[in-house]
Structure formats: C-alpha cells, structure tokens
Amino acid sequence: MQVTKSGPLSKMGTCPPGSSATVAPEMTVSRGILETLATQINVAREFLIDPRFREPVVVIWVASFGSALHYPVTFYYLLEVGATKMDIGWLGFIASLGSLVCGPIYGWLLDQYGSLTAVSLAAAACSIGCLVRGMAIDVNGLYVGYFVLGIGAENLWTTVLSHVVRHTEPSRRVSVISGYLFQVTALRIVGRALYPPFNFLLEDGFQMTQTLPRMRIHMGMCTAFCFFGTARLLGNWGVIQASTTGAESFEDSKVGSVTGGLSAAVTPFGIKTTEPQPTKFALFAALLVLQSLCLTFANTLWPLYLTDAFGWGPRGYAPLVFVSSVFSAAAITLAPVLGRALGQLRVLMMTYALGAGVAVITFAQSDGVVGIWFHCISFILLLTVLALLEPVLKANASVSMPERVQGVSFGVLTSIAGIGVMVGSPLATYLYNQSERPQTDGTQATSPGSLPMWVVAGFLVTSGVLLLAGVTLGGVSPTSEKPPHSR
C-alpha cells in the first residue's frame, strides 16, 4: 500500500483520476470572481489549519499589520530626523543591499534546515531594524536601522512565501501567491486605516503636539508587533520544529524514490516536480526587476510630489495610501480569474500598456481641484497595475524551477527584486531633483517630477517587449492555471 501524506494546500488544484481540468463553457467573469474570493478565504483558512504554515504565516500577518501602522508617516519621520531627499533614496539602497546579499542565504537555510530557522532569523532582524530606525537621533542612525531592516524585512515576507509555495501544486500557484499577497495587503489596509484615529488620539487626546516624539510612537508600533511575532515563533519552537521538519523530511525522502530525480511526477504532497526551465526563470526574473524598479519609483516619489505640488503632509497622504491599498488588494485578488478568462499573456501585455500610459500622464501639472483629483486617480491606477503584476510574475518564475530548490530560487528572486529597489531608490530621487531644476532660460523642460515617470513608462514598455521576445523567440509561455472548480 502506498503511503501518502497531504496538506490542505497541496490538495488545491489536484484532479481525481479521469477528471478534466478545463474551464466550463458556462464560466462567467462574475462566477470566476466569486470562486476566486472563495479560494482566497480557503487559502487563509488552510494556512491556519496546516501546522506547517500556521506560525510562519501568523508572523507575517502580525508584521504586515504592524508595519502598516506607521507607513503614512515614515517619509515625514525621515525628514524630521534630518534626512534629505537623496538620503531617502540611499536609505532604500541600503535596505535593498541587505535583501540582495541575504536573500539566497535565507533560501539555502529554508531548503536545508526548514522554515523555522530562516523565518526566525528574518523576523528577529526585522524587529531589531525597526527598533533602531525608530530610535535614530540622526541620519547615521537611520542608515544603521535600514541596513538591519534590509537583512530581515523583505526577506521575511519572501521566505514565508517560498515555504508555502514549496508545498503547493504548480498549477495552483497563482491563486496561492495572490492569496498570500492579498492577506498581507488586506492587513496593511486595516493598519493604514487606523493611522488617522491613532494620530488624533496622540495629538488631541494625549496632547502630544511635538511632531518628532509623536512620530517615534508611530514608528515604534511596528517594533512592538515584530517583536511579538518573533517571540511567538520562538516560544513555539519545539512544536513548530516537530511538525515542520517532519513534514519536510517526509517529502524529501519520498521525492527521491517516487520521482527518481527531477523528472515530472507527483510527490506525496500532490506537488509535481518539474524539469528546470532556466530561460523562463531568467525572463520572469528580469520582468520582476523592472516591476520592482517601477514600484520603487512610485512609492519613493509619491509623498515627495504630494509635498512639493500640494503641500500635503501625513494627514493628506494617509487616505491616499489607504485607497491605493484597497485597489491593489482587489487587483491581486483578481489576478487568477483574469488570467483564466483572458490568458496570462494577454493580461500581462494589457497591464504593461495601461501602466505605461498612466505613468506618462500622472505627474502632468494641472491647476485646481480637478488637477489634484486627476493626479490622485491616475497614480492610484498606476499602483494598482503594478500590484497586479507581482503574483503573476512570481508564480511563473516559481513553476520554472524544481520544488527542491524553491527556497534558493525564491531567495534569488528576492535579491533580484532588491536590485530594483537598490537602483530605483536613489535614481528616482535624482531624476526627480533633475526635473525640478530650472533650465538656463529660467524655465523647466518638464513638469516637476515628471522625468522619472517617463522612465517608469519606459521600463513598462521594455517589459512588454521582453515578454513578447521570450514568447516568440525563446518559446517561453506564461503558465496557465486551472479554475478552482477543476479539483
């Protein structure tokens, strides 16, 4: 008798013998949306049920909520401590340097020693980095804090995601990755929504009228939640290690005997190991770099532009961050159903075209209330487009590599995305300053801040060209996904 062991996520998308995995003719977009929402709820429920995922995912949930509480004030906190616009760009460079160096190391730890060691180290570094940043008294302290944050923060989110992906059937990864990202985004929405009332409580309730001390409290909330998540993880070390290590060693022992190497076969978890596809991995890794560059430009420049063009501070920025997060969450949720309805290649090409067009117009100057509304709506649309790209690109990169090296491959993806942040942070602020600088005749060649957005449009157009070249010349095609009802 064949011994099998399965987890809830590994069952997602597996078909009984003789069943078909084709989309039913009567499938409609509305039905697809409802099924996708049901899938997202199911993914969250299974994360909590499966002992392999429960504690690492809870740490991510706690950290996502905590980091969102201070997000609207972070840019302005850096300015209060003494950072310049270029310092803010270089702080992003320092943080991404840690991701670049440590990403593959966390992936190797994940593959060799399981999720507990890798997630614990990343969570501890994130906690310490948050604390140092929140206590910084000058720019040098900020640099130290961001360096430690780079060792843990982005690697924490990616390490947990890599752990989840390793136990998910390739044909279902877009749904599971979008579910994971949706959960993170939804918790960030809740956290960002709480910023205005919390700030009102501090400023009007407790009469904390001094800006910097009040901002330090906001920044300290992230530290508190990160330390809580780390303590919970370490406090349950024995229980987590027993369940997680046992499951992974069982998988590893069976993969060799069942698959006989890297050829396609079904493991005891229902996960199909695949032949490595380096061309496909390289293509989607390059697309992730460009997506990371665009997102870094957008996140770095938006508060700068709102301050310079409209004179807005944290109170004006916070509602926009909340609304953009809601739309980003909706885009992440709809990524799988759009891919099934239109095809992933078509979705990607349409997204690149829309994003490039919006990037060109979003910083165009226009006076009055209409101009403000136009800018806010167009920039929210740009962030939504960039959010839609992430789960599709990561899922395609994931299925191009065997499961036994998913940790290292996701670590490489983290490093690659870190390149986008590392280059994008200082480059965005430099180009922004250049577009603000008047010409020799006293006029400006472009609207303030518009030059880097033209660069963003160029990155998106380049992405579309690379994707078409990979499809037509390299024989690479985006992975299709089974609909939820074809299990």
- pLDDT tens by residue, 293-310: 999 999 988 988 888 888
Under a CB-based contact definition with an 8 Å cutoff, are residues 280 and 442 in contact? no
Q: Name 135's Cβ contacts closer than 8 Å, sequence gap at least 6.
A: 141, 145, 216
- The Cα 36–Cα 61 span in angstroms is 21
Selected residue with higher pLDDT from 239 and 249: 239
Give the whole-number percent of the chain exceeding pLDDT 90: 18
Selected residue with higher pLDDT from 226 and 302: 302
Residue 342 has pLDDT above 50, yes or no: yes
Q: Name 349's Cβ contacts closer than 8 Å, sequence gap at least 6.
A: 464, 467, 468
pLDDT of 444? 46
For the chain, what is the mean pLDDT? Answer: 77
> Which sign does the torsion angle of CA 406, 181, 349, 372 carry?
negative
Give the model's confidence band at 366: pLDDT under 50 very low, under 70 low, under 90 confident, else very high: low
Rg (CA), the chain: 23
Residue 30 has pLDDT above 80, yes or no: no
Residue 23 has pLDDT above 80, yes or no: no
92-135 confidence digits (pLDDT tens): 888 888 777 887 888 888 878 877 888 888 888 888 999 999 99
pLDDT of 6? 44
SS3 track for 156-209: HHHHHHHHHHHCCCHHHHHHHHHHHHHHHHHHHHHHHHCHHHHHHHHHHHCCCC
- The Cα 345–Cα 336 span in angstroms is 12
Residue 360 has pLDDT above 60, yes or no: yes
Model pTM greater than 0.75? Answer: no
- Partners of residue 394 on adjacent β-strands: none
Task: Among 146-160, 341-355, 364-378, 389-403, name the most confident range.
Answer: 341-355
- The Cα 95–Cα 299 span in angstroms is 15
- The Cα 10–Cα 475 span in angstroms is 29
Number of alpha carbons in the 13 Å side-chain half-sphere of residue 332? 25
Tell me the average pLDDT across 223-229. Answer: 84
Tell me the average pLDDT across 133-141. Answer: 93
Tell me the average pLDDT across 132-147. Answer: 92
Give the model's confidence band at 209: pLDDT under 50 very low, under 70 low, under 90 confident, else very high: confident
324-338 confidence digits (pLDDT tens): 989 998 888 888 778
Please report, as a single letter, which amino acid is at residue 155. N
Tokens encoding 91: 């702080």
Residue 13 has pLDDT above 50, yes or no: no
- Whole-number Cα distances in Å, 112 to 107, 116, 252: 9, 11, 11
- The Cα 410–Cα 412 span in angstroms is 5
| Torsion angle of the four alpha carbons 100, 103, 105, 111, in this order, in degrees rounded to the nearest 10 | -160
pLDDT of 295? 93
